[in-house]
Structure 1
Amino acid sequence: MFNAVRQLINPLRKSVYFSKLKLLNRPNNLNQVINYFSTMTSEITIGTHDGCFHCDEALACFMLKQLPEYKNATVVRSRDQKILEPCDIVIDVGGKYDPSKHRYDHHMRDFKETASSVLKRDDCPWDIKLSSAGLVYCHFGHRILKQMLPEVIEDADIHIIFKRVYDSLIKEVDAIDNGVPMFDEEPKYRIVTNLGARVARLNPEWNSQDLDADCQFAKAVELCGEEFRYFVESSARIWLPAREFVRQSLEKRFKVDPSGEIFELQKSVPWKDHFFELEKSMNISPPIKYVIFKDNSWRVQCIPVSLGSFITRLALPEAWA
């Protein structure tokens, strides 16, 4: 009987990942087997596919585990519907997108959801098809950020950080996972982290003998988590405080030049993301052409036509080169 029960459970053992690489020990007697099985079935579980893993589901798992309800969840890796069906939430597998049942796959032929269609907010116009990371972020992202940034009290600030993290990290993951070309004319997204390739390298090679796929997936989750945590915390600690500095500088632009087409930053701060949002929300006209800022010495920079573009609104005279 012991062998029969063990044969039933072994496929589940292989598909289960515990955070911090905590793997289940082999049971030594029948009572341990029964206890082990009943414990597994009563735990909160996050289901995703086994086999070759990708950045999107590894990042999605990390994000979910920042929420109280999934903090201690077991990650079950399988493509067997009988194993996935009882999972509390399933991501990147299963052939269903149904938020009411916590099913978040994006591989269906008719799946066309984007951040714009899910969030339904005018200030979230992104039209790249979502991966499982994007789905989890769009549905849970604001709560995740609140858990990770208890010092950020205002919902408006959480939303500003939400947009920055999506635009800087999640969009890259979504686009690469869905095979979206980076360029038509202007870039559709930026590759900031190359996280997808770094995760892909963690998959066991075809001839590896000493690498366990679930252990490697755990490393991928940790890697994605480190990157996500950096973007979240730096956004709150470094990037967001610069917003008010940029706003005040824009309000003083007519003191710099009567045209209002030049603004000045008294110090070098991360300004570009804030500039394009504030220029729109402040209805700035005519468009600003140059920024002057202090970085050891004073420097002048042309304003690009859009964030990430190398095309400037008005180039400096060639004679200045």
Structure 2
Amino acid sequence: MAVAKAIGTHDGTFHCDEALAVYLLRQLPTYANASLTRTREPAKLDSCDIVVDVGSVYDPSKQRYDHHQRGFTEVFGHGYVTKLSSAGLVYKHFGKELVALRIKKPVEDPIVELLWLKLYKEFIEAVDANDNGINQYPTDIEARYRLNTSLSSRVSYLNPAWNEPATSDISDAQFLKASELTGKEFYERLDYYAKAWLPARDIIERAMESRKDVDPSGRILVFETFCPWKEHLFELENEMGIPEAENTLYVLYPDTSSHTWRIQAVGVSPNSFASRKALPEPWRGVRDDDLSTLSGIPGCTFVHASGFIGGNKTKEGAMEMARQALKF
């Protein structure tokens, strides 16, 4: 019978990064039944098979993943420059295996790498930055409100309060709660990106590949079903090397709630309210028959006062709105 592995981390006050690191390690076959030792005693740590967030050593060959030592500068790479915490270190070295196990694909599958990078961007990097004291914004900007509901904050609240008992048994039990909390949210995000985000990307990619079949300009995209598209569109334009002069200006998709079609102007960035080319100014704020008469396009339902979105009763009508809008 194989001897169970042992994971080591520090005792006392715990943080989001090592709580998540321990949880992730325990999802790997190698450490699935591993015991946990929380201590700062070097001899006890040396008896562990893998150590995270303590010991002042980062050496993957020795399965040591601390980030507190002087001179530590490890980052995730792939354009990210945030210094890693123990969570980031474990994710950097074991994340692809974790993703592959979850989605049941080989580690070498391109989808595994795509999700591995996405989850670092959307989940792990914030844990790394928070633990390393890296501000999200320049320090000369004062926040308008306090944000104390982040994952790192919720983990910190699980530590015994200063005036509560904090024996090793109590602290260890609370650490396990924190580890479960972080791991549950990690896998919820991974499942979302695998089951919802990735299929949406496929829809947008197919639409972009056929964009010149829709209109010779290549600047109108049609989605036969609505899905989150903004982030994917900008990323795919870059990945596909689409020249700026051919960047998408309008997207068309069905509004399932009203059985009509929408035309939406693409923003200058995924989160911008400013459009690359808003719908024509004379149409803005006009509705229904008045808009159809003004534009000469049957079936118009509205154009928003800012020109970022409009509607038509039919796909063909929405397409004609897009084609005419290109000419303004």
Using structure 2 for the length normalisation, give the TM-score.
0.73
Q: Residue 95 of structure 1 contacts residue 108 of structure 1 at CA under 8 Å; is this kept in 2?
A: yes
Unpaired runs of 5+ residues, structure 1, are 1-41, 117-123, 186-190
Secondary structure in 2 matching 1:128: strand
Q: Which has the higher contact order (CA 8 A, sep 6+)?
A: 1
Match of 1:73 in 2: 34
1:153–1:98 CA distance, 2 compared to 1 (3 A): closer
Identity %: 44
Larger radius of gyration: 2
Aligned-residue offset at 1:195 = 1.0
Which of 191, 194, 204 is matched with 2:150 structurally? 194
What does 1:52-91 align with in structure 2 at a 5 Å threshold? 52-91=13-52
1:145-181: CA deviation from partner (whole Å, max 9, x where unpaired): 1222216787111111111111111111111111222
Match of 2:103 in 1: 149
1:173-224: CA deviation from partner (whole Å, max 9, x where unpaired): 1111112221359xxxxx9x82111111111111123881111100011111
AA partner of residue 106 (structure 1): H
Match of 1:316 in 2: 278
What does 1:98-137 align with in structure 2 at a 5 Å threshold? 98-116=59-77, 124-137=78-91
Aligned-residue offset at 1:55 = 0.8
Q: Residue 105 of structure 2 contacts residue 112 of structure 2 at CA under 8 Å; is this kept in 1?
A: no
Supply the RMSD in Å over aligned alpha carbons. Answer: 2.6
Match of 1:14 in 2: none
Match of 1:292 in 2: 252
Q: Residue 114 of structure 1 contacts residue 129 of structure 1 at CA under 8 Å; is this kept in 2?
A: yes
Match of 2:221 in 1: 263
Which of 206, 212, 224 is matched with 2:182 structurally? 224
1:295–1:207 CA distance, 2 compared to 1 (3 A): farther
1:28-73: CA deviation from partner (whole Å, max 9, x where unpaired): xxxxxxxxxxxxxx53111111111111111111111111110000
Q: Residue 242 of structure 1 contacts residue 271 of structure 1 at CA under 8 Å; is this kept in 2?
A: yes
What does 1:197-208 align with in structure 2 at a 5 Å threshold? 197-208=153-164
1:49-104: CA deviation from partner (whole Å, max 9, x where unpaired): 11111111111111111111100001111111121111111111111111110111
1:153–1:47 CA distance, 2 compared to 1 (3 A): closer
Match of 2:302 in 1: none
Match of 1:275 in 2: 233
AA partner of residue 147 (structure 1): L
Secondary structure in 1 matching 2:36: strand
Q: Residue 91 of structure 1 contacts residue 104 of structure 1 at CA under 8 Å; is this kept in 2?
A: yes
1:162–1:254 CA distance, 2 compared to 1 (3 A): same
1:151–1:97 CA distance, 2 compared to 1 (3 A): closer
1:184–1:90 CA distance, 2 compared to 1 (3 A): same
AA partner of residue 118 (structure 2): R
Secondary structure in 2 matching 1:292: strand
Secondary structure in 2 matching 1:127: strand
Aligned-residue offset at 1:313 = 5.6
> Within 2, Cα distance between the matches of 1:131 and 1:228?
16
Aligned-residue offset at 1:272 = 3.3
Q: Residue 67 of structure 2 contacts residue 85 of structure 2 at CA under 8 Å; is this kept in 1?
A: yes
Q: Residue 7 of structure 2 contacts residue 36 of structure 2 at CA under 8 Å; is this kept in 1?
A: yes
Using structure 1 for the length normalisation, give the TM-score.
0.75
